[in-house]
A = this chain, B = another copy of it.
């Protein structure tokens, strides 16, 4: 006989999921109601309004996809890429590679702009790619690369696309709520995010938004979208603005309660205050880690405050350290992905997990664990260095 599952209490400082506020967990356990209940529909309207505030957009087609971030990505590509469309895909980490896979599976022609992992998308290379391929229909790039902790210059990249009248698809899975992101001001046409990063909600939902221009492309496409579940033409009937809620699929009711609550919390704090909070705790974490002699993968100007990729000190056993942090402190930090596996740790400071208690725990637990393993680090200085940031 299998028994009820009682998860351990962790502190989640990996690349997501991040710590979930007790308020959000409690919201998720409220009574399930029907997906066509008038009260639920009222909640959906509020959810749309909250998401618009968070993406900083006026887009009518702003809604949560009923599945994780990868499905949000797919919702953008499967609706906007038509067979034969030329798409410039920028790859500087795992998720750019996934975009490329998406375009190929939906019959698009990929023009790849590659940059080294740990560096941002090169604005110059994108410019050059458009000069060579002025008939490009879509520019796709990752704003915040979760695999490396790099922020790319979304504003400048979108401006180039605009010159060529191309649509933009932007991965904001890790940036939404954690650092500056202005959908309308920057001219982003399609964006997707995830519930489990800086929104600090359990994983499983992917907020997306489509500009009017993107909606036009969806409405006018000649070929049928090769997905029923993600077909925006159909989904709009349920989430659309015309007041009629046609049944499409059964919405994940309780997961949406959770997202709603997490967005209410973000609204209470204020979006820009949240960005500032992420920046502040990142500074403290950075000061502490550097005081230990641990360096960052990414150049300072392109670092994401919410996701810190740091070099694993020489000779240190990656898995042993993460395992010790988990079993001795209940602390999760992330491993490197793909080419960076074994080389970096990814320390998240996302949403509810981004606070002084966690910064201090992470520095203490890491110093204590590395010291115990005889790693080549400087001890006794990290906490003071972090404290100085908080005082300053």
Question: Which listed residue (B37, B39, B71, B104) contacts A224, Cβ 8 A?
Answer: B104
List of B residues within 8 angstroms of A258 by Cβ: 254
Smallest Cβ-Cβ distance to A104: which chain B residue: B224
Most buried by B among A27, A106, A204, A257: A204
Contact A17 B5, CB 8 Å, known A67-B67, A68-B252? no
Q: Tell me whether B26 and A29 are in contact (CB under 8 A).
A: yes
List of B residues within 8 angstroms of A261 by Cβ: 4-5
A203 lies within 8 A of chain B by Cβ: yes
Q: Which of A134-142, A161-169, A243-251 forms part of the interface with chain B?
A: A243-251
Q: Tell me whether A16 and B250 are in contact (CB under 8 A).
A: yes
A221 lies within 8 A of chain B by Cβ: no
Interface class of chain A by DSSP: loop
Q: Which of A176-184, A226-234, A355-363, A383-391 forms part of the interface with chain B?
A: A226-234
Q: Which of A6-14, A287-295, A374-382 forms part of the interface with chain B?
A: A6-14
Question: Which listed residue (B46, B202, B248) contacts A32, Cβ 8 A?
Answer: B202
Q: Tell me whether B31 and A10 are in contact (CB under 8 A).
A: yes
List of B residues within 8 angstroms of A251 by Cβ: 68, 203
Q: Tell me whether A249 and B17 are in contact (CB under 8 A).
A: no
Which residues of chain A in 48-67 are interfacial with respect to chain B, using CB atoms and an 8 Å cutoff?
49-50, 66-67
Q: Tell me whether B43 and A7 are in contact (CB under 8 A).
A: yes
A contact set with B: CB distance below 8 Å: 1-10, 12, 14, 16-17, 19-20, 23, 25-35, 37-40, 43, 46, 49-50, 66-71, 73-74, 78, 98, 101-102, 104-106, 194, 196, 202-204, 224-229, 247-255, 257-258, 260-261, 263-264, 267-268, 326, 332, 337
What would be 24 A-B contacts, judged by CB atoms less than 8 Å apart?
A5-B30, A5-B260, A8-B31, A10-B31, A17-B34, A20-B254, A25-B30, A28-B29, A29-B29, A32-B196, A32-B202, A35-B203, A66-B67, A67-B71, A70-B228, A71-B71, A73-B228, A78-B227, A105-B227, A106-B226, A202-B252, A204-B204, A204-B255, A252-B255
